[in-house]
Chain A
Amino acid sequence: MKKTTLFKVATQSIVKNKLRTMLTMLGIVIGVGAVIVMVAIGNGAQSQIEKQIGNLGTNMIVITAGSSAQGGVSQGAQTFNRLRITDADKIKAGATLLTAVSPVIVTRTQVIGGAGNWRTQVNGVSTDYLTIRNWGVSSGELFSDDDIRTKKKVVVLGATVAKNLFPDGGAVGSSVQLGRSPFQIVGVLETKGQTASGSDQDDVILVPYTTAQDRLSGFSFLAQILGSTASTKEIPAAIAEITQLMRDAHQLNGGNVPDDFTVRDQTAIAAAATSTTSVMTGLLAAIASISLIVGGIGIMNIMLVSVTERTREIGIRMAIGARGSDVLTQFLIESIVMSVLGGIIGLLVGLGGAAVLGKFTGWATATPWSAVVIAVGFSAAVGVFFGYYPARKAASMNPIQALRYE
């Protein structure tokens, strides 16, 4: 029998037994649908987790000045301070993998205004700073690039500072005195809490780095340069890139001159993010394969019942000249067509379900193409694998007994 004819015979048999076909497909529909929904939810959860871990600053890269040694006595980190604004500018201009770069000038000063005064850390930064730190303002706004260019005397207060100077609110719009100059308060930062080592991150004020250089610190060196990448994956490449840019800027090329700066990332947090992601992937794969196997066993069950129920039909086909291989192929095609069809329906159900769930949870429940291809491909494989045994059973029937079967 020609393959096309066999295909026709098999599909006819599928169409003629709608209830049986639907019951058979149900297992695969549920299996594939569950896989698609789970992958979608998993992806949503994964990006949610990545986002949350990103809040910890996983994508942040810190460049500090290197150590210097005088007469063989190391002076420790940042003693040989040659980190300048020009370095930050060169990194910003040259680094392709960094999405944000900010110089950081650090000094301490007394803040006077509002309800009293408060001594705190002043960070002179660029507008990228909050992006890099995954930070935002709770009221007002950050100063602008224009403010930086014009060295404007504007300040953004950390939550702790704002609470101490303006316990009743109304900080934005007021002014405070830093050192001898009055500064306009343009914004108040969100509460960030403590660092891992226990220092209060909210006990800080931000000013344009140009203003800090001119009015507050009085020197042109930077404490650090901060940068961030779009995702943790690009960090190693970004570090290499920054290192090269810094070596060029400091003219360290040629000869074995060591770096006079240090580039670091949040390795521990990044590693945690990576392992969380891989655990998620493994979990999803495990659940997905279980539900597909259950669906496959469903197909095998119905196919076995179907073979018994259709014993007479098999006998008739054999009596009029069907070979064992014809019967085998017919049953295999039936099983494959049903599982692929079930896979496609399951895919649609899954995509719909994922969209609905995405709406309710607010997660980005995107289904990757690879999941679609794998789910449908796997359902076909399930059809072959679990369809083979019943088909084999049908093909090896004795026509005499099959014809006599009641």
Chain B
Amino acid sequence: MSAASERSPTDPVIQLKGVVKRYSMGNNEVLAMRGVDLTVMSGEMIAIIGASGSGKSTMMNIIGCLDTPSEGTYRLDGVAVNGMSRDQLADLRNQKLGFVFQGFNLLPRTTALDNVELPMLYDRAARWTDTRREAAAALARVGLGERLDHEPSELSGGQQQRVAIARAIVTQPTLLLADEPTGNLDSHTTVDVMALFQALNAQGITIMIVTHEAEVAQYAKRIVEMRDGQIIRDTPVIDRHDAAADLAAMAPTGNLVGAH
């Protein structure tokens, strides 16, 4: 991948220009995105909010290189994504993106360590030599250094999401994409996971969170709201919440990592 050479330091991580996404459902044509412009710079923590059907999932798929725009251009970390083949998109996802999903999406009956190791095994650029050590380090980074051999069924929801986050950051992606990461978690665990996102962002990882929960969006630095396939609001968060502080205030159930 020659992406590194194409990129200049001032390039944004995400650059959408006039992106339109059309689906044909039978005879009807659905416009999921109607000309979206969006630029996200390195180090941002951005929340995409909107009701279902607003087009935020479609945008997420395009930004996540799972789909390509019908019109307009998308550049990820300086690389033009338009017109790439399935294989090229797969490689791009492996090299530059980390995914965190609502349903955790860990491989069942597979240890945390094996789950986190997986993306490195698919690396065609062969960036990793000691994948076991890298995976263990990533798990330590999300506070699960002692649960390497646990399978998803032996972990709580919050812990499973931490494993998923470790899997997303282990390849040192340019962008961490989280699709409703707290959708399956209780309020305490939600704050706990958001604290982890904030900590990772503070370490320089660019994070984009798609959510429909307004409180969750308050932990981001910037909120983009969508409706009917268009961005209707794009504002910085004025009263940004500090998840670690919120967690301390919630006290009684204690810290999630220590509690389980």
Contacts and interface: CB of A to CB of B under 8 A. Distances in A.
B86 A320 contact: no
A325 B66 CA distance: 16
B124 interface: yes
- Which of A12, A16, A315, A320 gathers the greatest number of chain B CB atoms within 10 Å? A320
Cβ-closest 4 pairs across A and B: A321-B94, A320-B119, A16-B109, A321-B122
Contacts of A249: none
A320 B109 contact: no
Interface string A308-340: 000011011111111111100000000000000
A9 to B, nearest CB: 7
A400 B87 contact: no
Given A399-B66, A400-B61, A403-B101, A323 B110 contact: no
B154 to A, nearest CB: 14
Given A320-B118, A320-B119, A399-B66, A16 B105 contact: no
Interface residues of B, number: 27
Contacts of B134: none
B94 A320 contact: yes
Interface in B140-198: 167
23 contacts: A1-B122, A9-B121, A12-B110, A12-B114, A16-B109, A315-B105, A319-B64, A320-B118, A320-B119, A320-B122, A321-B91, A321-B93, A321-B94, A321-B122, A323-B86, A323-B90, A324-B90, A325-B87, A326-B122, A399-B66, A400-B67, A403-B101, A403-B105
A370 interface: no
B99 interface: yes
A5 interface: yes
A321 B61 contact: no
B123 interface: yes
A17 B109 contact: yes
A313 B101 CA distance: 13
Contacts of B64: 319
A242 B123 CA distance: 75
A399 B92 CA distance: 14
Contacts of B167: 320
Contacts of A319: 64, 66, 93, 99, 105
Given A318-B90, A320-B167, A325-B87, A400 B66 contact: yes
A79 to B, nearest CB: 90
Contacts of B93: 319-321
Nearest to A401: B66
A149 to B, nearest CB: 83
Contacts of B105: 312, 315-316, 319, 403
Nearest to A396: B86
B87 A324 contact: yes
Contacts of A323: 86-87, 90-91, 122
Interface of A: 1, 5, 9, 12, 16-17, 312-313, 315-326, 399-400, 403
Contacts of A322: 90, 122
Contacts of B106: 316
A342 B61 CA distance: 41
Nearest to B60: A400
Interface of B: 61, 64, 66-67, 86-87, 90-91, 93-95, 99, 101, 105-110, 114, 118-119, 121-124, 167
Contacts of A17: 109
B87 to A, nearest CB: 5
A317 B91 contact: no
- Which of B61, B107, B114 gathers the greatest number of chain A CB atoms within 10 Å? B107
A319 B61 CA distance: 10
A399 B90 CA distance: 10
Contacts of A399: 66
Nearest to B123: A321
A312 B101 CA distance: 12
Nearest to B151: A16
Contacts of A400: 61, 66-67
B95 to A, nearest CB: 7
A313 B61 CA distance: 18
B118 A317 contact: yes
A1 B118 contact: no
Contacts of A16: 108-110
A207 B216 CA distance: 113
A5 B107 contact: no
A313 B99 CA distance: 14
B35 to A, nearest CB: 21
Contacts of B101: 403
Contact of B99 (A12, A320, A325): A320
Given A1-B122, A9-B121, A321-B94, A313 B107 contact: yes
A5 B121 CA distance: 7
B49 to A, nearest CB: 20
A14 B258 CA distance: 34
Nearest to A406: B103
A312 B108 CA distance: 10
A320 B123 CA distance: 9
B158 to A, nearest CB: 19
A9 B122 CA distance: 11
